[in-house]
Structure 1
């Protein structure tokens, strides 16, 4: 009897603790323990926004000069629309000059000094110059207050859910005195929102890499007050920590006493680009060492695999049905490679999924989009993405391989008759089968 009680007790204990160990195993499987020494962190795929690692990634924190990624985005947007030109001349205001005298990182803009948009863009992106940033903001919007409103509107448009901007620079608003923008609150941004902003910056405007990857510049080159400016992203090749991780070419650092040391980074190796964010690290060196942990983990454990190549057919979906055409189907192929970032060795867990346009009707021309191809993951990981809009960027268009002309009225009439007769006979056959 005692033996039976011991066995029963043991079974009860096992039943109670087994779910606990199972939960631990599931969590360990879902995300590696990287021991990131930061208040928050995230690592993502720079194509689909797949989250490969996150730590407290939704908490809004002061981003310091990572704020300037949004200012950079808006400048590039104005350039793209033609409202702004690189050689447009910007005149430094009282506010820009005041920051040039004592506003953190700066290029000492004189009152009324004239510089081109491109010169100020380099000063902002490479050296994080606050005076250059404000000069750009005022030039674009008339005042920093107006520009900050543009920043907050754009943040919502890009799907940033926690971000709130109160300055164009990330400089603490309460230290700006009479120049403080008339905007409520201080600037905050979560690691996830910083990743969203970084994703849009390099995907919407790939030319941003030209600025962010420049290791050093000379401001006012050839003039008596020329300034050599190193990039504060010391992980760029040729700078202090340039050998930590290969392929780093952006994006933006930031530091204040309240924010700590922050860094939104991007790097590419073997055709795979990653974006990482760390916020609130303890020192300048630590923001780069913690970034190294994230990027090393990503490049060591993940790879980009082409599930299907450009111009190839998806097995089982070689054609698409169309209406009102001389042909009832059209052969279809992928417009470009269906590239998926995945854990190494997991290719067999990813299957292509074809989604046709809701209505396909002739005439159709070769290269017309008839749908798109995405993928299904059948493994145990519970991957999430920055948002659905960014995730959809990993989809690939499915295009027609040849022309299909619109059928004439007579052809369509007889096709309908044949379909009707076929439907009648099908119903009769089904009825006969039902009798037996």
Structure 2
């Protein structure tokens, strides 16, 4: 019954969104009807980085626990480099338990108890445990201060110019400083993270973290997974300065069945949790409603058939060398232009380049070679003569009919 109610609520939300979505501002990429109690947002394609909708996306803001995406990145780097393992055992210290008692989220680690890196990663992402962030940072770099330095180095390496880190969790520092980033840089960080370490989706899609031997059982803090089909992550963040923040990852094919692409959305500075979730829903449904996969070129479908007397069959068919799929917006056309080589003559080998096709969409240009799908044999001398005579006769008949 609970799941049915959630589905109904999601459908009602989508209906309201589609009703109000008549007024999208053109050219700015902003949704006019989106709640104004959100400081910035962005949503785009996870694979290509194309942005579909944004507001104040380059403006740096406090990011609270969205910080933990960078923490996860560096921990996974350390595992990849062989410095630690998922089964590495880590003992919680006094500071860990202090973080557990704070007002912010924690897994509930106890001083003196040992936990595996795998358990800490689960708590870091699914439960947003500040205690897990601190203990992982200390394990990788020796101290949280040294880890924060690594975080800033990684941000610089990835070209995330707006990002600044003071700790591994995102809580306020003693001198009231807080980690910061723009929505756009968080979008790009999440893209790189999922590309390099897709197992983060395993952690973000968990419903709870359960460690029976240590008395830990906590529900995930990540919203929308049960409300919108296809949502499988990614991270929440909340402090007084940052407001309510959310990064969501979505498999759009799961949502509407046709669109084979993934999206990432970022919402920063919402005034309350419901506003944050509502804004993210609107962004996801906006993409679902107005964007779709268009297979512009199919390597198994001919784009041109050329009459050619030198070919045994009398014609040459050309095919794209590769598929080309574009995520296109309603009412924006994809332009194509075919360019064939001069003097195409048989025999022709399979895969031989016979020209190219230029594709333009949304200011982006794509170029794909055109090739022969199979070997094309040369016509016999008699065949060429017969075809030439036939073509000339047809030409003369056309002239007479035209007169």
Shift of 1:103: 5.6
Structure 1 unaligned regions, length at least 5: 1-24, 177-184, 238-242, 317-330, 355-365, 384-393, 403-436
Matched residue count: 316
- 1:152 Cα deviation (Å)? 0.8
Cα gap change, 1:192/1:314 in structure 2, threshold over 3 Å: closer, same or farther?
farther
Deviation at 1:70, TM superposition (A): 0.6
Shift of 1:353: 10
CA shift, 1:99, in A, is: 1.1
1:348-381, Cα deviation, whole Å (9 max, x unpaired)? 4254899xxxxxxxxxxx99xxxx999532x5xx
Aligned to 2:34: 35
Distance 1:259 1:26, change over 3 A: closer
Structure 2 SS opposite 1:131 = helix
Spell out structure 1 runs of 4+ moving beyond 4 A.
310-316, 350-354, 372-375, 394-402
Superposed, 1:50-89 pairs within 5 Å as 50-89=50-89
Report how far residue 110 of structure 1 moved. 1.9
Residue 105 (structure 1) shift: 1.0
How has the CA–CA distance of structure 1 residues 118 and 399 changed in structure 2, closer, same or farther, with 3 Å as cutoff? farther
| 1:65 to partner: Cα distance | 0.4
- The Cα shift of 1:339 comes to 2.6
Query: Who is 2:233 aligned against?
Result: 250
1:268 aligns with 2:248: no
Q: Find the counterpart in structure 2 of residue 193 from structure 1.
A: 185
Following TM superposition, by how much is the alpha carbon of 1:261 offset from its aligned partner in structure 2, in angstroms? Answer: 0.3
Structure 2 residue aligned with 1:155: 155
Determine if the alignment matches structure 1 residue 232 to structure 2 residue 224.
no
Rounded Cα–Cα distance in structure 2 between residues aligned with 1:75 and 1:296 = 33
Q: Deviation string for 1:211-245 (max 9, x for gaps)?
A: 11112121x22x2x5222111112112xxxxx2x2
Structure 1, 304-313 or 125-134: larger mean CA deviation: 304-313
User: CA RMSD for the aligned pairs?
Assistant: 3.4
From 295, 314, 327, the counterpart of 1:341: 327
Label 1:115 to 1:58 Cα distance change in 2 as closer, same or farther (>3 A). same
Q: Please, which runs of 5 or more residues in structure 2 have no aligned partner?
A: 1-22, 254-259, 306-318, 340-349, 374-403
Matched, 1:122 2:107: no
Change over 3 Å in CA distance of 1:155–1:33 after alignment to 2: same
CA distance in 2, matches of 1:139, 1:395: 46
Task: State the Cα distance separating 1:102 from its structure 2 match.
Answer: 2.5
Q: Distance in 2 between matches of 1:82 and 1:163?
A: 27
Asked whether the 8 Å contact 1:62–1:187 carries over to 2, the reply is: yes
User: How far 1:97 sits from its partner (Å)?
Assistant: 2.5
Q: CA deviation at 1:36?
A: 3.5
After TM superposition, the score normalised by the length of structure 2 is 0.70
**202 and 311 in structure 1: CA distance in 2 versus 1, 3 angstrom threshold:** farther
1:125-149 CA-to-partner distances (Å, cap 9, x unmatched) read 1100100111111101111111111
User: What is the CA distance between 1:398 and its match in structure 2?
Assistant: 7.8
Match of 1:35, SS state, is coil
